[in-house]
């Protein structure tokens, strides 16, 4: 692999090319100095988020498509900004690089990273680069903004709110389990499997919907689905000191679920617990339903009303269906578990 300075120079050149400068009035100084300089816009608040992806813990290099890994490391942070109702503006990327990865890997990785960054008008303004003993370490930082007071928190769900989720859930988990079975992204895998692998390896969070929802002020609370739908709903419940009911037959289970189980109750369980879907989970007043659906339609996003926020108490999740209501213990992803 090329030396550190040449490597960073390559990133710098790429970051400055095609950058949306006209929009970038708030960037004073990007890559090349000890720190970047930017000036928050009048009337805006800054949102800052970081995601650490460690090889063999958060991803496997053997499963990865390098361009999709570059896409994903940015996408997961964009998902966090969207979940706050903000717009992503700038990114930083710190790399711990093992000797095993060559120039070709990095060319593809950055092609994926910048394709997503350029598409959404996000400008890479810095990072850090170091060697790592064996495993690749990626730290993705994104800076976003929202109008003052508009950031959507986990902690403001209210009793009586509807619970909504974008897209479908469980697909990323299916993709991961197919990868674990030895499936890879090659031309000969069938369409459904291909879609499942893609959901895991190249997530597309509904960032435009998140931003416009934040701007609209309609959402009482919001979180992105990274640990699993039920687990993330429980995070809202704990922070808001409420409980929630999920209507079992309204959960939008990913169509790829049929790849591994014909048993719909098992499929539901995997959809509730599977992680990394990077959809948005929202609570809002029942009276906002029409506007929410309209906004989702404008953004080309499907939205399902899957339940409601109920009385305070132990921050429980309940699963309901015809003739039953039972408490559901999320089994989503947890580090150190
Ligand atoms: P320092 O010694 O102050 O950390 P570096 O030589 O590491 O400076 O970095 C020089 C410039 O390159 C800085 O602006 C830094 O933000 C940027 N940079 C370094 N690594 C990366 C990277 N992986 N991605 C983007 N920018 C980077
Ligand atoms: Mg440095």
Which atom of ligand 1 has the smallest separation from the CA of 30? 14
pLDDT tens digits for 96-147?
Answer: 999 999 999 999 999 999 999 999 999 999 999 999 999 999 999 999 999 9
pLDDT of 53-104, one tens digit each? Answer: 999 999 999 999 999 999 999 999 999 999 999 999 999 999 999 999 999 9
* Any ligand 1 atom below 6 A from CB of 11: yes
Distance 130 CA to ligand 2 centre (A): 7
pLDDT digits (tens, 9 = 90+) for 159-180: 999 999 999 999 999 999 999 9
Return d(Cα 257, Cα 268) in angstroms, integer.
9
- 296: burial class by Cβ within 10 Å (0-12, 13-18, 19+)? buried
- Tell which one of 94, 127, 141, 143 to mutate to probe ligand 1, the residue whose CB is within 8 A of the most ligand atoms: 127
263 compared with 251, residue with greater pLDDT: 251
Task: Give tens-digit pLDDT for 272-327.
Answer: 999 999 999 999 999 999 999 999 999 999 999 999 999 977 899 999 999 999 99
| pLDDT tens, position by position, 190-249 | 999 999 999 999 999 999 999 999 999 999 999 999 999 999 999 999 999 999 999 999
285: exposed, middle or buried (C-beta count within 10 Å: 0-12, 13-18, 19+)?
Answer: middle
Residue 152 CA to ligand 1 centre (angstroms) = 32
Q: Per-residue confidence at 187, pLDDT binned at 50, 70, 90?
A: confident
pLDDT tens-place string over residues 148-162: 999 999 999 999 999
Report pLDDT for 25. 72
Closest C-alpha residue for ligand 1 atom 16: 126
| pLDDT class of 263 with cuts at 50, 70, 90 | confident
Using CA positions, which residue lies closest to atom 8 of ligand 1? 34
pLDDT at 314: 87
Q: Are the C-beta atoms of 224 and 281 separated by less than 8 Å?
A: yes
pLDDT in tens, 40-66: 999 999 999 999 999 999 999 999 999
CA dist., res. 162 & res. 288, Å (int): 9
Contact between 276 and 203 (Cβ < 8 Å)? yes
Ligand 1 touching residue 95 (CB < 6 A): yes
Rounded Cα–Cα distance for residues 313 and 320 (Å) = 18
Ligand 1 pocket, 34 CB below 6 A?
Answer: yes
Q: How far is CA 75 from the centre of its chain?
A: 6
Return d(Cα 220, Cα 244) in angstroms, integer. 14
Q: What band does 264 get if pLDDT is binned at 50, 70 and 90? A: confident
- What is the pLDDT at residue 22? 45
Look at residue 337 in the predicted model and tell me its pLDDT: 62
Task: List beta partners, residue 55.
Answer: 59
User: Looking at residue 266, what is its pLDDT?
Assistant: 87
**pLDDT of res. 80:** 98
- Per-residue pLDDT, 265: 84
191 lines ligand 1 (CB under 6 A): no
Calculated CA dihedral for residues 20, 26, 32, 36, nearest 10 degrees = -140
Is the full-model pTM beyond 0.85? yes
The predicted pLDDT at position 19 comes to 59
Give the nearest ligand 1 atom to 32 CA. 14
* pLDDT at 186 exceeding the cut of 70: yes
Nearest CA to ligand 1 atom 27: 127
pLDDT of residue 18: 61
Q: How far apart are CA 78 and CA 112, in angstroms?
A: 14
pLDDT at 256 over 50: yes
Closest-CA residue, ligand 1 atom 18, reads: 127
- Nearest ligand 1 atom to alpha carbon 93: 24
Q: Which residue has the higher pLDDT, 267 or 22?
A: 267
Closest-lying ligand to the alpha carbon of 4? 1
Q: Which residues pair with 54 in a beta bridge?
A: 137
């Amino acid at each position: 692999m090329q030396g550190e300075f040449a490597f960073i120079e390559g990133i710098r050149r790429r970051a400055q090319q095609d950058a949306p400068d006209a929009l970038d009035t708030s960037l004073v100084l990007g890559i090349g100095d000890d720190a970047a300089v930017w000036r928050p816009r009048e009337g805006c608040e800054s949102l800052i988020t970081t995601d650490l992806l460690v090889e063999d813990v958060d991803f496997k290099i053997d499963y990865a498509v390098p361009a999709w890994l570059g896409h994903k490391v940015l996408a997961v942070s964009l998902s966090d900004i969207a979940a706050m109702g903000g717009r992503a503006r700038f990114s930083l990327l710190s790399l711990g690089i093992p000797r095993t990865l060559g120039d070709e890997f990095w060319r593809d990785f950055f092609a994926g990273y910048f394709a997503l960054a350029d598409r959404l008008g996000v400008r890479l303004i810095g990072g850090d680069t170091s060697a790592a003993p064996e495993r690749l370490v990626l730290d993705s930082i994104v800076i976003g903004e929202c109008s003052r007071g508009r950031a959507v928190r986990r902690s403001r769900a209210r009793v009586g709110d509807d619970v909504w989720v974008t897209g479908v859930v469980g697909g990323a988990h299916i993709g991961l389990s197919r990868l674990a079975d030895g499936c890879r992204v090659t031309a000969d895998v069938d369409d459904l499997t291909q879609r499942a692998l893609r959901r895991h390896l190249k997530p597309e969070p509904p960032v435009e919907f998140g931003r416009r929802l934040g701007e609209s002020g309609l959402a009482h609370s919001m979180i992105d689905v990274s640990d699993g739908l039920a687990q993330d709903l429980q995070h809202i419940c704990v922070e808001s000191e409420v409980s929630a009911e999920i209507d079992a037959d309204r959960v939008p289970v990913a169509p790829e679920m049929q790849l591994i189980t014909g048993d719909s109750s098992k499929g539901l369980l995997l959809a509730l617990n599977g992680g990394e879907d990077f959809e948005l989970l929202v609570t809002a007043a029942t009276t906002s339903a029409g506007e929410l659906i309209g906004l989702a339609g404008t953004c080309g996003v499907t939205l399902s009303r899957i339940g409601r926020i109920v009385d305070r108490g132990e921050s429980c999740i309940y699963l309901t269906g015809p003739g039953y209501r039972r408490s559901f213990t999320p089994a989503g992803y947890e580090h150190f578990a």
